[in-house]
Amino acid sequence: MSTVKYKGYQASVEYEDGTLFIKVLHVDDLLIAQCESAADVDKAFAELIEGYLADCAELGKSPTKPFKGSFNVRMTPELHKRSAMAAADAGLTLNSWIVAAATDKLECGHLTQRVDNVLRTQREEIDPLRRQREEIDLMQRVARPKLSKVRVSAEHRVLEFERILSIRTGIVTSYTRKPTARWGN
């Protein structure tokens, strides 16, 4: 299940039998739409919410607000005890402590996303360099056997590498000097 948001409302999007179903979450009314492609989901959801708000206005009914700011939390007695004790140790009410815990959890999630984005960006920058290095290593291995019968100067190796690189990449370099080569025994 994935979700979409529009004007403070959230909906689940589920795929079943070739159709995408959009169901508005966190409201008392049942609001469902369907569409054929993922590209149409945002538009269908926006139309569903706009239609709901228009119908409520026409009927003189207040639209269901997705959240009112209070809810019951169900947890094990042990977790309830530990939470109450931790709240007292921190000098907070249990409610304030749970609000802080929820806030911390949400901020931690955002921090994790930011760290993941930094790492992804670094990988995206490093991967092309790694591939370039692998290509260079391959070209060097290919160039060595061709030149094995010739003892060449360092200048010749550089020029030969540039020539192979220009063939592989299509980048033409100009050769202004001829390398000197000495034949080996």
Domain borders along the chain are: 2-59, 77-124, 147-183
Handedness of CA 7, 11, 15, 21 (dihedral sign): negative
Contact 6, 22 (CB under 8 A): no
Between the CA atoms of 164, 165, 171 and 175, what dihedral angle is there, to the nearest 10 degrees? -60
Distance CA 3, CA 110 (A): 17
Q: Token digits for 58? A: 């026409």
Task: With H, G, I as helix, E, B as strand and everything else as coil, classify residue 33.
Answer: strand
> What per-residue confidence (pLDDT) applies to 114?
73
Task: With H, G, I as helix, E, B as strand and everything else as coil, classify residue 18.
Answer: coil
Q: Which helix (H) or strand (E) holds 11?
A: strand 9-16
Q: Which residue has the tokens 């020539």?
A: 163
Distance CA 37, CA 135 (A): 41
Tens digits of pLDDT across the chain (185 residues): 799 999 989 999 999 988 999 999 988 889 999 999 999 999 999 999 999 999 999 999 888 876 778 888 899 999 999 999 999 999 999 999 999 988 888 887 767 777 777 778 877 877 777 788 888 877 777 666 554 444 455 666 667 767 776 666 655 555 444 555 455 44
Distance CA 98, CA 73 (A): 10
Q: Token digits for 59? A: 């009927």
> What per-residue confidence (pLDDT) applies to 149?
47
Q: Are strands 19-25 and 32-35 parallel, antiparallel or unpaired?
A: antiparallel
Contact 11, 4 (CB under 8 A): yes
